[in-house]
Structure 1
Amino acid sequence: MKTDAFCHLLPREYAKRLFAIDDSPVARNIQKRVSSIPALVDLDVRFRVMDEFGSDYRQIINTAAPPLEDLGPVERTLELARVANDGMAEIVRDHPDRFAGFCAAVSLDDVDAAIGEAERAFDELGAVGVQIYTHHHGGPMDQEKFFPFYEAVAKRGNKMIQVHPCRDSSWADYKTEERSKFEIWWTLGWEYDLSAFMSRLVFAGIFERLPEIKFLIHHGGAMIPHFAGRVGPGWDQLGARTPPDQVEDVTGYPLTKRPIEYFKNFYVDTAYFGAGDAMRTAIKFFGVDHTLFGSDSPFDPEKGPGYIRATIGNLQEMDILSDSDREAIYHGNVTKLLGL
């Protein structure tokens, strides 16, 4: 059994509303970027993609970027969350042989409403988690106003928070420029965003305050496992070289362990797009028990099967894994984590 824990899908009614938005630059951007990927919306196309991987392959789905908060006023984004979640729940309910579950969409413009929508999705629709993003209108996700949301999900025990990056070309590569070039904002910027998200929450004491919380970080934990020397011995020296007038920049929640140990509490997927050596490093850092099979389908050049095939190939070829390790990554870990 293979349960693909991070895949994107747009329910038809949600897609219809998304493509009708004409007053949001973010909406116009995503309309262009996803309009040529039929497997995002057309289930017949998607099922043909999935058939390549046999009857024991299923997906956990969520909506594609961007964050709902970037699509207009709060009334619209709250309604879009409801439409998206109703649509995903129906798809999962109608096709249990194809989909193992869905992670709910929420709009964090109204934190109380986001909590209510998450709880509705859990209790009435059967969602296995929620998806959030690495920024909120460009601001950090360790702001205290978001902790009631984290706490509400953490209290549910077997629900996860999927974390997806979200910057766009308006985030320039250099201070002297207005826009990012060559889609550096996507290729490299998204990985920085995921890493910064993880770091800010670690130093905000998220795992001290909510030890039961379960985050699934997209793209294998991004930069963190590949810079373990800086995350480990580097951050062990946090503040040692900081000027006295900047001490507030390095003051966070009082941690009881080395910073690097908290990073290993995150769960990560295997969405490395065929980069097997990078995936190996991530698995060694986070551990087999914190790694979930996830492909990021259908955003590969083939518009569906490419990243799934490449990810399976990487896992099958990886000599550091036993058969039981592969079984855990493919299906066992997510089953245990979510009580599937």
Structure 2
Amino acid sequence: MLNFYPGPSKVYPEVRTYLTDAYDEGIIGAPHRGEQFVQVSRAVVNSLKRKINIPQDYHILFASSATECWEILIQSLTRHKSYHIYNGSFGEKWCEQAKKLRPNSEGMKFDMNEHMPVDDLQISSDTELICFTQNETSNGTQVSATTILNLQNKYRDTLIAVDATSSMAGLNLKFIKADIWFASVQKCFGLPSGLAVLICSPRAIFRAKQLNERSHYNSLVPMYEKMLNYQTTHTPNVLDIYLMKRMLEDRPFIKQLDIDLTDRANDLYEFFSQFTEFKLLVENEEVRSKTVLTLQGSERLVDDIKKRALLYNIRLGNGYGPWLRNTFRIANFPAIGNDEYEELKRFFLHYYA
């Protein structure tokens, strides 16, 4: 099965070997307070900083998912409210979750064919956390590094948190431009679901210590304190952390992965622009995602495309949110090989050209 679903998506083929090695090395049953796990955790932290260019003074924590990170950050970094900027379903859901915890939280929706309107933002001085999604998986858009820098320059005194679930470990993100970044691993990391990486700047940790919120099992300060010894507050996904260690050891540095994914994204966008029965959902090339392509057509055609693809062992992603029935999505993740995309192209040329 060729898997182009945008998460959970295809895992690296080497994971099969890593799993066997994990069993043979006893890591699957290793205690999470033991030295074997600590060594693996330390190696993962060091490799993440080295391979995907995380600043050395940023802190790396583990959670179960990106959606859990939404909650952790609101609980531990705000007393009053956060501000959410979004153009799609996942950014909006983060805003909705924040309002359940902090009813005064605010949000602003912008058009998916526009850049994030930083100049138009009017965020009040009592806002404690600015939140947005760097790569909106629901519609296939992304926020550029330049836009993030402009946001940082405008609101220097406010913490900025970024959901980078569909781009971290695939694109060369400029982590220094925000205080918090997080992602689940079932996308560009090419690993099984059930683990998230949460990255915090020294400023974010300082703020968390000031608030000292400890009311939840995964409150940010206890998570940080445990990771000083490369441990977690909870029993973590030990296997996934081990798989990440092995994956990072074998993968190229992020600069090369970014070049490869960008080139392939450009090729795929050019390829799909030739079709007339369906079209690219995002019209503005400047805000299109490099890692998730979204194609739009009639509900009947989209349903036919997905069903016909499955007959040829090709899994395409469903639409999401408002675009559930009239779009399908294609992941452009590092674990998926170029030859698989060539087969995908042959399928579309045969049936829909």
What's the TM-score, normalizing by structure 2? 0.27
Which structure has more relative contact order (CA 8 Å, sep 6+)? It is 2
TM-score (norm 1): 0.28
Identify the structure with the greater helix proportion. Answer: 1
* Larger strand fraction of residues: 2
